[in-house]
Amino acid sequence: MRIAESPFAPEWIQNANVKNEDVTMQSGIFVWHRGEWYDGEWRGGEWLDNRIDRVLLMASQIGIVFQPDGTATAYRTTKANGHGRHDSSFIQTEGEYFEANALPAGRGTCVRGIHCTSQARAHTYFGIDITAQLWEVKFRREDLLDCDGEKARIRGGTFRKIETPFFLKTTGEKKDDKHPTNNA
């Protein structure tokens, strides 16, 4: 479909100078299949265009889209006990949390900080762990520090524990003997 045909296209995409584009919307994410994009260039994985906010572009590619009220929702996982999967000294709690000494915006995502992504990627970023605790985080635009199209680094937000295991088979379901990896 053309960008102009989508009722869900953010304003910056609607205003993009494109030709012969073919995009689809998959799980709330715009997927670019083909076409030409003018007024900028990709260099070293970064879009150079004064009209486009690179961080918002990368965030939208992983489903982090800011609503009219200025908030977005993303996800992260911790170990089952709430300890960080990368930094086990960190303990995630419910409610508001902000990093006191977060590195400033533009320092990248591969630095110390609170990392979040799409719900699907949150489950697989550090390898699949069905015991991991899933968290939803709501945050404001000014708290998005960087994004690389795979994960975002934020200053903080409001965290909510999502009860798991919501994706495991419930009791009483038949065991799959032909495909044992499908059994929880």
pLDDT, tens digit, for every residue of 20-57? 888 887 766 667 777 776 666 655 545 566 667 888 88
What one-character-per-residue DSSP string does 24-76 give? EEETTEEEEEEEEE-S-EEETTEEE-TTS-HHHHHHHHTT----TTSEEEEEE
**Domain residue ranges of the chain, discontinuous segments joined by +:** 1-52, 55-170
User: Beta partners for 79?
Assistant: none
Whether the pLDDT of residue 87 is over 50: the answer is yes
Q: Please give the single-letter amino acid code of residue 155.
A: R
DSSP state of 157: E
- What's this model's pTM, rounded to 2 decimal places? 0.66
Categorize the per-residue pLDDT at 184 as very low, low, confident or very high, splitting at 50, 70 and 90.
Answer: very low
pLDDT given at position 42: 57
Tens-place pLDDT, residues 107-160? 888 888 899 999 888 888 877 888 889 999 999 999 999 998 899 999 999 999
The per-residue pLDDT for 36 is 75
